Amino acid sequence: MTEIIDGNAVAQSIRDDLATAIDQLAEEGVQPSLATVLMSDDPASETYVSMKQDDCAEVGIEAIDIEIDPDADASELYDAIDDLNGDENVNGILVQMPVPDHVSDREVLRAVDPVKDVDGFHPENVGRLVAGNARYKPCTPHGVQKLIEAAGVETEGADAVVVGRSDIVGKPMANLLVQKAPGGNATTTVCHSRTKDLAAKTRQADILVAAAGVPEMIDGGMIKEGATVIDVGINRVDADTEKGYELVGDVEFDSAKEKAGAITPVPGGVGPMTRAMLLYNTVKAAGLQHGVDVDLP
């Protein structure tokens, strides 16, 4: 029987367990807080930000909502980030990407104080992750690591294949899997758009993480019998539904399920984990900034 890994359930258990750390902070008079900064009128970005704020409210993290006119000068965004960096009541800062074209996303990531960079995208935090001394693991790959652990799958010595090399998913994912640490120690291959004979690589994988953003590109024929398949992809495809579309992953679920030992669905797999791990990082940030040694799940 193939195990369907329930991301909603694993995310809920992480949120429940975070309550312990939040109580420990409360005993020291600290309420963790996350500032979300939105410089966009894209409805999808607005939805993401409001979901993150709702998630915060649910677990007792204060959410601070900063909105900047997308037509404003880039300096307005930098000034807002500076204010948040200097505000000791703010533990985490998340700038919702993408920012408008006239703003450099690279510069924005550098502007956030690395100690408040709960996305883990500041170069200092990227460097720490690569060096095996992560401060904040990026939310999506960290969530994937937690899903693999929850499925009872051993990464040590496993052949892991990551499809995708983006800075937010593929690269940090590979870095986590390769570390000499729990949830790592995998022999890790990174595939990307220039990889030759992708199927030959994915068929080697005991653990396959798909993060290419190409709808259903990985089918059962590309999967090793019994593999653990984690589908990060979230792709909108036209469909005869009320909204006119449906969400599918990078994995063709029905054929993949026949081969995999364990597999995540889309939706309900990695997505909820990304959201839960942002809360995790925010609570961790509050502990670090206030010198409270919190127990994290």
> Pick the catalytic residue: 119, 206, 231, 250?
119
Residue choice 103, 108, 217, 262 for contact with ligand NAD (CB under 6 A): 217
Which residue sits closest to ligand NAD, CB atoms considered?
A: 166
191 lies in the binding site for ligand NAD (CB under 6 A): yes
- Known catalytic membership, residue 52: yes
- Counting every residue, how long is the chain? 297
Q: Which stretch binds ligand NAD (CB under 6 A): 16-24, 28-36, 66-74, 185-193?
A: 185-193
276 lies in the binding site for ligand NAD (CB under 6 A): no
Interactions with ligand NAD, residue window 70-89 (CB under 6 A): none
For residue 142, give every residue at least 6 positions away whose Cβ sits within 8 Å of its Cβ, in sequence order, or none: 176, 273, 277, 280, 281
Residue choice 94, 186, 205, 211 for contact with ligand NAD (CB under 6 A): 211
Residue choice 262, 270, 277, 285 for contact with ligand NAD (CB under 6 A): 270
- Known catalytic membership, residue 24: no
- Known catalytic membership, residue 179: no
Q: What sign does the CA torsion over 122, 124, 130, 132 have? A: negative
247 lies in the binding site for ligand NAD (CB under 6 A): no
222 lies in the binding site for ligand NAD (CB under 6 A): no
Nearest to ligand NAD of 134, 162 (CB atom):
162
Interactions with ligand NAD, residue window 108-147 (CB under 6 A): 140
Nearest to ligand NAD of 32, 170 (CB atom):
170
- Placement of tokens 């022999």 in the chain: 187
Nearest to ligand NAD of 151, 217 (CB atom):
217
163 lies in the binding site for ligand NAD (CB under 6 A): yes
Nearest to ligand NAD of 25, 270 (CB atom):
270
Q: Give the chain as a DSSP string.
A: --EE--HHHHHHHHHHHHHHHHHHHHHTT---EEEEEE----HHHHHHHHHHHHHHHHHT-EEEEEE--TTS-HHHHHHHHHHHHH-TT--EEEEPSPPPTTS-HHHHHHHS-GGG-TT--SHHHHHHHHTT--SS--HHHHHHHHHHHHTT---TT-EEEEE---TTTHHHHHHHHHSSSTT---EEEEE-TT-SSHHHHHTT-SEEEE-S--TT-B-GGGS-TT-EEEE---EEEE-SSTTSEEEE-SB-HHHHHHH-SEE--SSSSHHHHHHHHHHHHHHHHHHHHHT------
Q: Which stretch binds ligand NAD (CB under 6 A): 52-60, 73-81, 181-189, 230-238?
A: 230-238
Residue choice 21, 168, 176, 263 for contact with ligand NAD (CB under 6 A): 168
Binding site for ligand NAD (CB under 6 A): 140, 163-166, 168-170, 191-193, 195, 198, 211-214, 217, 232-235, 270-271, 274
Residues belonging to the active site: 52, 96, 119
